[in-house]
Structure 1
Amino acid sequence: MTTVGLRERKKEKTRLAILDAALDLILEQGYESTTIEQIAGVVEISPRTFFRYFTSKDHLVLWFHEHTEEIMLETLASRPPDEPPFTVLMHALREMLSDLESSTPEDATRFLKLRQIFDQYPHLVGQSVARGAQTERRFAEVVAARRSTDPDEDQLAHLIVAFAMSTLRVGSECPNREGTIPEITSRIAETMELAERSLRPGWDVQRPAQPA
Structure 2
Amino acid sequence: MAARTPRPTGTPEDLGRTPGLRERKKQQTRDALVQAAHELFLGQGFARTTVDEIASAVDVSQRTFFRYFANKDEVALAVMAEAEDYFIECLHHRPAEETPLQALRASIVKAWRDLGNARASGPGSITSALELMRMIEDAPTLLAAHLRRVTEQERIVVRILAEREGLDPREDLRPAVLAAVFGSVLRAAHLSWTADREPEGPEGMITLIERHFDQLGPALTGHWRTPGQHPGAGTPGDTPPS
Q: TM class, shorter-chain normalised? A: 0.7 to 0.9
| C-alpha separation in 1, matches of 2:109 and 2:217 | 13
Q: Distance in 1 between matches of 2:51 and 2:192?
A: 34
Kindly state the Cα deviation for residue 137 of structure 1 after the two structures are TM-superposed: 0.7
Report the residue type matching 2:144 in the other structure.
G
What is the alpha-carbon distance in structure 2 between the residues aligned to residue 27 and residue 80 of structure 1? Answer: 39
1:104 aligns with 2:120: yes
Task: Say whether 1:189 aligns with 2:207.
Answer: no
Compute the displacement of 1:122 (Å): 2.8
Q: Which deviates the most, 97-106 or 154-163?
A: 97-106
- Asked whether the equivalents of residues 79 and 129 of structure 2 are also in contact (C-alpha less than 8 Å), the reply is yes
Separation in 1 of the partners of 2:128 and 2:24? 19
Moved more, 142-151 or 85-94: 142-151
1:25 and 2:64 correspond: no
1:131 matches 2:146: no
Match of 1:169 in 2: 187
The correspondence of residues 66-81 of structure 1 with structure 2, limited to 5 A, is 66-81=81-96
1:60 and 2:75 are equivalent in the alignment: yes
What value does the CA root-mean-square deviation take over the aligned residues? 2.7
Counterpart secondary structure, 1:135: helix
The structure whose residues are more often helix, as a share, is 1
98, 107, 123: which one aligns with 1:83: 98
1:45 corresponds in structure 2 to: 60
Asked if the contact 1:36/1:47 (under 8 Å) is kept, the reply is: yes
Unaligned runs of 5+ in 2: 1-16, 222-242
* Contact in 1 for aligned 2:158/2:175 (Cα 8 Å): yes
| Residues in 2 aligned to 1:154 and 1:34: alpha-carbon distance in whole angstroms | 45
SS of residue paired to 2:170: coil
Structure 2 counterpart SS, 1:154: coil
TM-score w.r.t. the length of structure 1 is 0.80
Aligned-residue sequence identity (percent) comes to 32
CA drift at 1:31: 2.6
Structure ID, larger Rg = 2
TM-score of the aligned structures, taking structure 2 as reference length: 0.71
| 3-state SS of paired residue (2:215) | helix
- TM-superposed deviation, 1:138: 0.6
Q: Report if aligned partners of 2:36, 2:54 keep a CA contact under 8 Å in 1.
A: yes
